[in-house]
Structure 1
Amino acid sequence: MSKLNQTPVDGDLAHALDTRIPPTVFLLTGCVAVIGCNSLVLSPIAPEVSRSLGASVQGVMIASAAFGLGTAGSALFLARHIDRLGAWRMLRMAFAVLAFALGVSAVAPLLAVLVAAQLVAGLAAGIALPAIYTNAATVAPAGRETETVGIVLTGWTLSLVAGVSLSAVLADMLHWRAVFALVCLLAVGAFLVLAFNGRRDTLSEEPAMAPLAALRTPGLVPLLLACGAFMGSFYGVYAYVGDHLANALGRPVSANGLLTLVYGLGFGAAVLLDRPVQNLGVRNLLPFAFAFVAAVYLAILWGADSFETLLAVAFVWGLANHLGLNMLIVRLTGIAPTRRGAIMGLNSATTYIAAFAGTLAFGPVYAGFGLGATAAVAALLMLFAAIAAAR
């Protein structure tokens, strides 16, 4: 039927099809979940890994640090090729490498092999995450960008709720190697779906940018500063919540798992707010979202002596962080569409550098003054992030 003869009903149907969330978005969500699982599962199974490989728990966690280092490095130096080579192609390549690295992690005979495998997994993740966010922005229906990115971000909820919970169970029932084997199988499955999903890339004609050249993009630096403050404050507080629950409040280790679960549920529940947020306008609301996160940290400061209060605040914390992260990614991907890969690479590099710096810098504050003081510093950082985002 030609457009001239198209009936109003046909037009409404075509519009509905154009604006619905494509199934590919849920594939991207699964990809985020696989990466999130690998980045989160080592901590709860570290004691089992240490006994099996004859190393200390601190030594085992070097593998987690190697993953973060690899992610930051490749996001900074390799993700810039996404625009020239194509986000879908780079995502397929990254997941092939990720699956290989996870397989090696599952059979690692020595700690050094596990650390090296996780470094390679980080190199793959540093390409995959910017590619995922770039593809999410590309396939999002017009007017539903925030909602689309919000769905993709629920992959982190899946990894928090399912990955962290199931990893300890699998390690107890079978072996810690079964955890990495399962995540490897998930990565292989994601790679196969990516290989046959038929998506083609629209390549940029511009040459790959130098690693830091994208910083010249107008409006980018303030958003990256906001990202650094946002992520540094989160990891700086989150890293010490478990110790606070155990040593200051006398709670068992399971209490930390429950708090993480509640945080993940809040992060996932925020997807219900993404459509209203889209209608109100991301650019106008991002500073307010960061101010909301600052208020959550003040609530942690106020309720640090009560586990029940912290549990309730954890849900709101997850919800607020989802909204802030969602709006930040939508803003970043909208600055310069032909440079999305490079920009999202800088975003991922900033995230993992801030995670490392936040955990390190907040340590003396926590050791000297407790969780409340770390929450107060985090609130100040979030006010800085709100001001930077407003610019």
Structure 2
Amino acid sequence: MALLAFCMLIFSVDYNIVYVALPEIGREVGFSAQSLQWVVSAYSVGLGGALLIGGRAVDRLGARRMLVLALGLYGLASMAGGLAGSPGLLIAARVVQGLGGALLFPATLSLINTSFSDEERGKAYAWWGTAGASGAIIGSMVGGLLTNYLGWEWVFFVNVPLCLIAIAGLLSNFDADAVQGDARGFDLPGALLATGASTLLVFGLISGPEAGWASARTIIVLAVGLALGVGFFALEARTADPLAPSRLFGYRGLLTAILIIFVFQGAINTLHYLFFIQLQDVMGYSPLQAGLAFLPMSAVAMLGSNKLLPLVVKRWGVRTALFTGMLGVGTAMIVLAASMSTSHSFWPLLPAVLLWGLFAGMIYPAMFMAAGSDAAPDEQGVASALAQTSAQIGGAMGMAALIAVANSGLDLGEGAHNAVGDVVNGLQLAALVGGVAAIAGAFLAFRVKSQKAAAQDTDVQAAPEPAITEAAQPQTIN
């Protein structure tokens, strides 16, 4: 349980640690102001493009095997990123880190869903969510410290020993995988179509604001991505052994999780962006100060994951956790909109920050609990990959739309200078719109079965338990 949480910590740290180093990376590696975003975006393209194939590889080739491979990719790409002397090399390293994440994320969730009893699984999800929240603390704070005292390279180098420790722990504490099904039946055409569609859609959504939504590049990239997506679903309907079986979309818990994650990630990605702009561009915080300003949010998020979520799920079920979490995140965005101003004081923002952390920390693991609730053991990897793919696309779309809202009243021409009050007005409007969208998304939670209904279904379906064969036994943890 602790080891899988540690793997999730690596994922979360790697996602957050690079933000505070961006200004120094831009100066020392030679990125332009426009191209610097690709230090972050390249990771998202690699992650979002490979999640489906990563999830299916976990199901077919084994979760432990793929998790070890993921950590190896993380370690090697982190070393390459720290040694990179040009923008192209650093972006390539970030793409490979994203590929590692596309294996790591579904592998950790698959091991949680197949390695623990029902009672222990809830605790494992709580620790998994806590690790994700604490990664935001460690990433923001340690990233600032490493950048200030050792240089930007160390936000990459720090991952290498962490990956080695995790690999050693996995090899010594988890049994070797038994390959699920016939690995030769892997749906290669479907994998290529899914990877191409996801990559182009994420790339198009991320690069759209820079290239222009009406530009030929953006239109062509998104159109080809959509066409590949349509081709993927058409192929999967006729394939005997599909990458993403159509029956998965009939699982109420998974489909609801995909929809909620899409809305949630768009809101939460924008919330991070708006908060950073408020702190640095409006209030004049340094990167280190901005990182430290995330401490209250991240600390409360750990409380939401590790304390509040188990309490709510045990008493009222996952549906209530999803509804309450989305309602809380939406409320936090509206409170943030009301508290933003041209003042340099952090205190008016604190109530929104605490609400944000508590409810985001609670709902994040709950969404993936719902995603895997109906899936069979050999479907856990692809189910979690579908959910995380939704997060990547929803995050990119939501952030693009809400940033456009924030910038709608500003002069974006080269050399333009906007009044701080106008910037704040745009931030407030974007936060308000995002908050209303999140609250509306909360009502999707009622598609999930209530705790009582789920218990009744279990009773109806209960039957004499068959003898457990060796192949059906849960993963053993030494």
* Distance in 2 (alpha carbons) for counterparts of 1:296 and 1:175: 35
Within-5 A mapping of 1:118-129: 118-129=94-105
Name the residue aligned to 1:114.
Answer: 90
Q: Verify: 1:299 aligned to 2:331, yes or no.
A: no
Normalising by structure 1, what TM-score?
A: 0.87
Please tell me the residue identity of whatever aligns with 1:383. I
Counterpart pick for 2:36 among 57, 60, 64? 60
Contact 2:266/2:399 (<8 A) preserved = yes
Name the residue aligned to 1:233.
Answer: 267
Alpha-carbon distance change, 254 to 189 in structure 1, aligned in 2, over 3 angstroms:
closer
Contact 2:324/2:359 (<8 A) preserved = no
Name the residue aligned to 1:350.
Answer: 390
- Deviations along 1:128-162, one digit per CA (max 9) or x if unpaired, are 11111121222333224333211012222332212
* Distance in 2 (alpha carbons) for counterparts of 1:322 and 1:383: 16
My pick for the range that moved more, 375-384 or 321-330, is 375-384
* Distance in 2 (alpha carbons) for counterparts of 1:255 and 1:136: 36
Tell me the SS of whatever aligns to 2:18.
Answer: helix
Name the residue aligned to 2:249.
Answer: 216
Name the residue aligned to 1:179.
Answer: 155
Show structure 1 runs of 5+ residues with no match: 1-24
Alpha-carbon distance change, 253 to 115 in structure 1, aligned in 2, over 3 angstroms:
closer
Name the residue aligned to 1:286.
Answer: 322
- Deviations along 1:323-357, one digit per CA (max 9) or x if unpaired, are 11121111111111231111101111111222222
Contact 1:266/1:319 (<8 A) preserved = yes
Alpha-carbon distance change, 308 to 210 in structure 1, aligned in 2, over 3 angstroms:
farther
Q: Aligned residue pairs: how many?
A: 367
Within-5 A mapping of 1:1-391: 25-201=1-177, 204-205=180-181, 210-214=242-246, 215-219=248-252, 220-249=254-283, 255-270=289-304, 271-280=306-315, 281-305=317-341, 307-338=346-377, 339-368=379-408, 369-391=425-447
My pick for the range that moved more, 223-232 or 175-184, is 175-184
Tell me the SS of whatever aligns to 1:241.
Answer: helix
Alpha-carbon distance change, 54 to 354 in structure 1, aligned in 2, over 3 angstroms:
same
* Distance in 2 (alpha carbons) for counterparts of 1:170 and 1:57: 22
Normalising by structure 2, what TM-score?
A: 0.72
The CA deviation at 1:47 is: 2.1
Contact 2:78/2:159 (<8 A) preserved = yes
Contact 1:146/1:327 (<8 A) preserved = no
The CA deviation at 1:174 is: 1.9
* Distance in 1 (alpha carbons) for counterparts of 2:375 and 2:314: 22
Name the residue aligned to 1:18.
Answer: none
Please tell me the residue identity of whatever aligns with 2:158. L
* Distance in 2 (alpha carbons) for counterparts of 1:178 and 1:323: 31
Contact 2:47/2:98 (<8 A) preserved = yes
- Deviations along 1:301-337, one digit per CA (max 9) or x if unpaired, are 3322373132232122111011111211111111112
The CA deviation at 1:44 is: 1.0
Contact 1:147/1:278 (<8 A) preserved = no
Tell me the SS of whatever aligns to 1:176.
Answer: coil
My pick for the range that moved more, 219-228 or 139-148, is 139-148
Show structure 2 runs of 5+ residues with no match: 187-240, 409-424, 448-478
* Distance in 2 (alpha carbons) for counterparts of 1:58 and 1:195: 43
Alpha-carbon distance change, 98 to 365 in structure 1, aligned in 2, over 3 angstroms:
same
Please tell me the residue identity of whatever aligns with 2:268. F
My pick for the range that moved more, 130-139 or 342-351, is 130-139
* Distance in 2 (alpha carbons) for counterparts of 1:137 and 1:102: 29
Contact 1:106/1:177 (<8 A) preserved = yes
Q: Percent identity?
A: 23
Alpha-carbon distance change, 198 to 134 in structure 1, aligned in 2, over 3 angstroms:
closer
The CA deviation at 1:58 is: 4.0
Please tell me the residue identity of whatever aligns with 1:283. R
Alpha-carbon distance change, 258 to 182 in structure 1, aligned in 2, over 3 angstroms:
closer
The CA deviation at 1:183 is: 1.4
* Distance in 2 (alpha carbons) for counterparts of 1:53 and 1:303: 37
